[in-house]
Chain A
Amino acid sequence: MPFWAEKIGVPRTLAVEFPFGHTLGQPHDAAQQRRVIEQALEVLEAEGAPGTIIHSPETWPVSQKEATREWQPEEPSPLVRVMTPHFREMLRERRRGGQA
């Protein structure tokens, strides 16, 4: 998640494009997990500078739509339940502001 690594200022990051809760890969795919860890170890071994972000070439073998649905909890989190109407309102205001 390079967006947050950059924002927070993580010393060394391997960015992976995997769904939430699956940082190192799919369950029971030891080969994929091992490849991702090896890429992370290589980031650690490389001559780097604070804030290094290397992007992993690994891809997720499930469609974006399906993967987006699968990582989320069956019940929306308490925050999502409370905040969704506020987010929608914020976005509406932003759009109105943009048009003004």
Chain B
Amino acid sequence: MSVDSFKYLPRLIGTYYRMTGGRPELPIPWTPLPQPLSGCKFGLVTSAGLYHRGVEPPFDLAREKQEPTWGDPTYRTIPTDIRQAEVGASHLHINTQDVLSDVNIVLPVDRFRELVADGRVGGLAKYAYSFMGYQGFPPDTTAWQETYGPQIAHKLKAEGANCVLLTPT
């Protein structure tokens, strides 16, 4: 099977994306798997616009509404033992109803607890991190690359995580 990236995009948006250029900055980073997964501790990072309700604020959607070509580049910290009722989602580009019903569709905290219990992976970091995927138009990921990405990498490493599952949305 070959995955069609544009299958669920409205035709206008899909056509626009196909017209855009861009190649990766080479070389593509590469870290070999350091040990069997049963000994690896996982971090989870998503761009679904999640936040810990009542603890941290949502992403700044008010500013995005004022400035439609701007997207909030900050991130939120989410304990991986979060209860579903504490999951908030602020993202103006997707329908958040399903993630508010089951966070595991983008941040698989329950599935990873099962994988740890089964011994498939060694551990799960105590904190996961969420960005909000819309980074303006045209997209500007400078703050992610220079500030927030390195901060999260540092925090995950400090917790002993050596593998990360990224779930973009």
- Residue numbers of A with Cβ under 8 A of B are 1-4, 6-11, 15-28, 30, 33-34, 37-38, 40-41, 44-45, 49-51, 55-57, 64, 67-68, 70-75, 77-79, 81-84, 87-88, 90-91, 94
Task: Tell whether, in the assembled complex, residue B23 and residue A7 are in contact, meaning their CB atoms are under 8 Å apart.
Answer: yes
Give the number of A-B contacts (CB < 8 Å): 165
**Chain B interface, number of residues (Cβ within 8 angstroms):** 63
Known A-B contacts A19-B8, A68-B10; A2 and B3 likewise in contact (beta carbons under 8 Å):
yes
Considering the complex of A and B, which 3 residue pairs feature the smallest CB-CB distances, nearest first?
A9-B24, A78-B68, A27-B102
B158: A residues at CB distance < 8 A:
none
Task: Tell whether, in the assembled complex, residue A81 and residue B68 are in contact, meaning their CB atoms are under 8 Å apart.
Answer: yes
* Bound form: Cα–Cα A79–B25 in Å: 27
Known A-B contacts A22-B98, A37-B111, A64-B8; A45 and B25 likewise in contact (beta carbons under 8 Å):
no
User: B27 near A: Cβ within 8 Å?
Assistant: yes
User: B93 near A: Cβ within 8 Å?
Assistant: yes
Task: Tell whether, in the assembled complex, residue A24 and residue B68 are in contact, meaning their CB atoms are under 8 Å apart.
Answer: no
Within the complex, what minimum Cβ distance (angstroms) separates A58 from chain B? 9
- A50 contacts which of B4, B27, B96 (Cβ < 8 Å)? B27
Within the complex, what minimum Cβ distance (angstroms) separates A18 from chain B? 8
A24: B residues at CB distance < 8 A:
104-106, 108, 111, 167
* Bound form: Cα–Cα A10–B167 in Å: 12
B125: A residues at CB distance < 8 A:
none
- A79 contacts which of B19, B137, B167 (Cβ < 8 Å)? B137
- A21 contacts which of B5, B65, B105, B137 (Cβ < 8 Å)? B105
